[in-house]
Structure 1
Amino acid sequence: MVFKRLLGSMGVGGPAVDTVLDLTTAAPGGSLTGEVRLTGGRAGFDIEHITLELVAHVEAETEGGEHEGTVAFERFHIGGGFRLAEAEHRSAPFAITLPWETPITQLHGQPLGIVLGVRTELGIAGARDKGDLDPLSVGPLPEQEAILEAFGQLGFGFKSADLELGRIGGTGQQLPFYQEIELTPPTQYAHQVNEIELTFLAHPGGLEVVLEADKRGSLFSGGHDALGRHHVSHVGAAHRDWNAVVGSWISQLLDAHTARAAHTPHSPYGHGAGHDAHTHKDDHGHHDGHRSGPGMGTVVAAGAAGLAVGVVGGMVAAEAVDEIGDFFEDDEDEDEDGGEEA
């Protein structure tokens, strides 16, 4: 998909920029290729640099409540140092590598409600202008897909997915945010837990899989969280019995959940250690203040990863697509209005 607009800082008659991505869907740790197409304006301009910036729409929980915003999580210099003549057409091809922890935005072609973008920035005459913003679709790694499929086969349903600003202590997390995929339990687990939150932290050698079982408190008792961490190698993932693997993870998690509720207020996994100032969970793994509710795109259509279909927060997939489009329009409007850069 191509978005085109004139560079606002250059005024009417300034150069225009299109960024064209070759792939419809990329993968974490994979290559993203395409080209930046420039068209000269009514005069010549010195293009000092062309930079691609990966951005994400994230949520942050603070003492003042929940906030949403845009976070830039990677930058790539792909060209510059030339003069773009009046009405000249020029292209700058690129091949960049996505971070391994890049969140997944879709599963079997169905959007999860995660919003990522590729922003093109031009440096012209000492000024910077964000001239183009394109949505970025990221599909799962094979083992991520297999794990999600296993949860679906075991009866879990997809509830929502979002990006949380902060770090999970004790992990090798690299990005300033992490993805949470919230799953609703099947009947046999419903009396033990309200939901399970799943986070993938991919790296060149494999995955860190972080699971959290959440049981919110009632009028007479507090809620309890239990956490589990598992390491999965990229090698041999296709030959594993993922239903059995994920089933054992769930059993361990719920056993820990029950033991914690009965005996101790502390997480047996030490999930809270090492959190920074923006962390989403406290030292016991509890969420600070408000829990994140369903975000946009909280419904995956039938068949996606075998997860049960449901409507959360009154939102359906088509409306999620509309809101994703609104995000990109709003972001570009802020740029044109002189808003702060991410």
Structure 2
Amino acid sequence: MLNKFLASFGIGAAKVDARLSESRAYPGGELQGEVHIEGGNAEQSISQIYMYLYTEYYKEANDSKTKHKEILASYRVADSLLIKPGEKKALPFQLRVPYHSPMSFGRQNVYLSTGLDIDMAVDPKDTDVVTVLPDPLVAQLLAEVESMGFRHSHGSGTCEYKKHIHRMVPFVQEFEFKPTGQFRSELDEIELIFDVHPEGVDVLMQVDKRAASLRGIFEEMLDLDEHYVRFSINRQSGVVPGELEMRIRQVLARG
């Protein structure tokens, strides 16, 4: 009886550990593994075993940034289960990584949280880092940007709060680049946002032109120097070499 009472406070309670066969996956890909449960000092009734993928994003307000958690997808591994003292169980799982998951880049991470739902007790939990690889089309686009002499800015790849841009989540993953080559005298930076889906990827590109006159300085102060371009790339045709450069030059030609 004492052991059951202590287990309700997490002392000598059951433990959970998610073990991934492979901790890396592409958006739309799968993660597989086993959930290992080890009974504590008392018998416990588990109402469900749950898992969810989540990430974190920043939201700016009143000149300060706060970090927020966003659940990307949730999964139920099993329902009612009884675990006896010291008993060990292993349950297989297979879950799909949603297309709207941000890729793992810099300090931007995606996590897999696993928990046991135990009535009238502290839920045992386990958290693992999952590496979300860049979609092949996104990887091609990023490689092309770098081949044009652009380099990632500090903080590039971070998820930031933006409403009404992404279809599934309240943030976007922003990739910011500074020119070091042919566009150095014309651009301050470019920013790319990707929306990956089964058919391909939608791209929102922001081109920030460098001020070259007094008028340009005022436009820069008012953010009027920023131009946006939207385009899509489907998986059948793939990335056309030179497409990004062509679109940047189209923006520069607008004056």
TM-score computed with the length of structure 1 as normaliser: 0.65
Query: What is the SS of the residue equivalent to 1:136?
Result: strand
Contact 1:56 1:73 in 2 (8 A): yes
Could you give the per-residue CA deviations for residues 19-72 of structure 1, whole angstroms, max 9, x where no partner exists?
111113111111111111110000111111111111112111123522123222
Q: Does 1:118 pair with 2:112?
A: yes
Structure 2 match to 1:231: 232
User: Partner letter of residue 100 of structure 1?
Assistant: Y
Q: Does 1:131 pair with 2:130?
A: no
Structure 1 match to 2:92: 93
Query: Unaligned 5+ residue runs, structure 1?
Result: 1-6, 107-111, 260-342
Count matched residues: 241
Name the CA distance, whole Å, in 2 between partners of 1:93 and 1:67. 36
Query: What is the SS of the residue equivalent to 1:190?
Result: coil
Structure 2 match to 1:333: none
Name the CA distance, whole Å, in 1 between partners of 2:231 and 2:70. 28
Q: Does 1:198 pair with 2:192?
A: yes
Query: What is the SS of the residue equivalent to 2:168?
Result: coil
- Range 213-222 or range 185-194, more displaced: 213-222
Name the CA distance, whole Å, in 1 between partners of 2:7 and 2:99. 34
Shift of the 50–22 alpha-carbon distance from structure 1 to 2, 3 Å rule, reads same
How far the C-alpha of 1:220 sits from its partner, in A, is: 5.5
Shift of the 132–190 alpha-carbon distance from structure 1 to 2, 3 Å rule, reads same
Query: What is the SS of the residue equivalent to 2:24?
Result: coil
Name the CA distance, whole Å, in 2 between partners of 1:33 and 1:254. 47
Could you give the per-residue CA deviations for residues 221-280 of structure 1, whole angstroms, max 9, x where no partner exists?
21321111111111232xx543x1121122233345xx4xxxxxxxxxxxxxxxxxxxxx
Shift of the 82–24 alpha-carbon distance from structure 1 to 2, 3 Å rule, reads closer
Q: Percent identity?
A: 27
Q: Does 1:210 pair with 2:204?
A: yes
Q: Does 1:51 pair with 2:47?
A: no
Larger radius of gyration: 2
Could you give the per-residue CA deviations for residues 47-102 of structure 1, whole angstroms, max 9, x where no partner exists?
11111111112111123522123222221111121101111101121111111111
Structure 2 match to 1:289: none
Is the helix fraction higher in 1 or 2?
Answer: 1
Matches within 5 A, 1:19-168: 19-106=18-105, 112-126=106-120, 129=123, 131-159=125-153, 160-168=156-164
Structure 2 match to 1:338: none
TM-score computed with the length of structure 2 as normaliser: 0.86
Shift of the 206–8 alpha-carbon distance from structure 1 to 2, 3 Å rule, reads farther
Contact 2:9 2:122 in 1 (8 A): no
1:247 to 238, 242, 245: 245
Name the CA distance, whole Å, in 1 between partners of 2:126 and 2:210. 43
Contact 2:150 2:178 in 1 (8 A): yes
Structure 2 match to 1:268: none
2:170 to 152, 171, 176: 176
Query: What is the SS of the residue equivalent to 1:13?
Result: coil
Contact 2:7 2:41 in 1 (8 A): no
Quote the RMSD (CA, aligned, Å): 2.4
How far the C-alpha of 1:191 sits from its partner, in A, is: 2.9
Query: Unaligned 5+ residue runs, structure 2?
Result: 1-5
Structure 1 match to 2:3: none
Name the CA distance, whole Å, in 2 between partners of 1:20 and 1:146. 31
Shift of the 82–188 alpha-carbon distance from structure 1 to 2, 3 Å rule, reads same
Shift of the 10–35 alpha-carbon distance from structure 1 to 2, 3 Å rule, reads farther
User: Partner letter of residue 252 of structure 1?
Assistant: Q
